[in-house]
């Protein structure tokens, strides 16, 4: 792949101003990140959704710092010319500012991420501001925040009621003020997401938030139907590689069992003289 200049946070703001949509793909390992980069995704995002998509948990809550760093390193090795963004996992940016800075620094230094993402609104603005002041770019995330799914009562659309909507608007403004370079809006009504996008000066990245956001994000496994167990309404499948992979594995199993694999084309042979010497021994 030809070298391309890594997208910067200032370039993202320019994209918003020029109405150029930002395409973000969530990937968790070397091969998926390599393909996402080759497909020219603007941002490659290592989400803590890896807990469900890759590790088999039923939520993002069990995901650890070690998990995030491990997967970010793999993605960064593949996506050398991409803007790699990583989630800060559950409770890694709450409590003391020192605790937050230490964890954010680890993701940058050990994982080689270009930026981190935090879920929450006004309540995390101080933590976000401290990271930004320390030179760590931070993306916000409001609406449905998976780390707070137990508090929210499940995976539900957020902001349909007046109080919820007003809170999301206030949260977006607070994160902008805290120095966020962009904000993910997840499972928010299109009308509200569009209003927030128009109200703040930083880009919004939508996932289930309609057509008015400055960009969109989907998970690698979801958009390709790669063993993705859940298909939310907001996901569009652009391919079905899962079926192809399953069919390929099934053929291998069948051919192994009926002795048609390996065939003559897949084996190695010894020189007959060498073989004779061995057998003579």
The three state secondary structure string of the chain is CCCCCCCCHHHHHHHHHCCCCEEEEECCCHHHHHHHHHCCCCEEEECCCHHHHCCCCCCCCCCCHHHHHHHHHHHHHHCCCCEEEEECCCCCCCCCHHHHHHHHHHHHHCCCCCEEECCECHHHHHHHHHHHHCCCCEEEEEECCHHHHHHHCCCCCCCCCHHHHHHHHHHHHHHHHHCCCEEEEECCCHHHHHHHHHHCCCCEEEECCCCCCCEEEEEHHHHCCCCCCCCCCCCCCCCCHHHHHHHHHHHHHHHHHCCCCCCHHHCCCCCHHHHHHHHHC
Residues making up the chain, counted from first to last: 281
Q: Pick the catalytic residue: 123, 170, 186, 244?
A: 186
Q: Is 186 a catalytic residue?
A: yes
CA–CA separation, 125 and 129 (whole Å): 6
- Pairing relationship of beta strands 138-143 and 115-117 according to DSSP bridges: parallel
Q: Which residues are catalytic?
A: 186
């Amino acid at each position: 792949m030809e070298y391309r200049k890594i997208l910067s946070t200032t370039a993202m703001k320019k994209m918003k101003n020029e109405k150029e949509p930002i395409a973000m793909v969530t990937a968790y390992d070397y091969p998926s990140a390599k393909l996402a980069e080759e497909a020219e995704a603007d941002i490659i995002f290592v989400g803590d959704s890896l807990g469900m998509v890759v590790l088999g948990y039923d939520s993002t809550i069990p995901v650890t710092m070690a998990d995030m760093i491990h997967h970010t390193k793999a993605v960064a090795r593949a996506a050398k010319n991409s803007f790699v963004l990583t989630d800060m996992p559950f409770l890694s940016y709450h409590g003391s500012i020192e605790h937050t800075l230490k964890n954010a620094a680890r993701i940058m230094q050990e994982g080689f991420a270009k930026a981190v993402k935090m879920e929450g609104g006004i309540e995390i603005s101080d933590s976000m501001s401290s990271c930004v002041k320390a030179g760590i770019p931070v993306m916000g995330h409001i609406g449905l925040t998976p780390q707070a799914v137990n508090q929210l009562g499940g995976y539900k659309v957020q902001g349909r009621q007046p109080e919820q909507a007003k809170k999301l608007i206030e949260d977006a403004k607070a994160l902008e003020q805290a120095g966020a370079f962009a904000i993910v809006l997840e499972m928010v009504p299109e009308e509200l997401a569009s209003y927030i996008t128009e109200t703040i000066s930083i880009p919004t990245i939508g996932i289930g938030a309609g057509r008015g956001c400055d960009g969109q994000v989907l998970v690698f496994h979801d958009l390709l139907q790669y063993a993705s167990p859940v298909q939310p309404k907001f996901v569009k499948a652009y391919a079905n590689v899962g079926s192809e992979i399953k069919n390929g594995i099934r053929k291998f199993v069948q051919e192994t069992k009926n002795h048609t694999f390996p065939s003559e084309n897949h084996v190695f042979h010894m020189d007959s003289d060498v073989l004779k010497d061995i057998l003579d021994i």
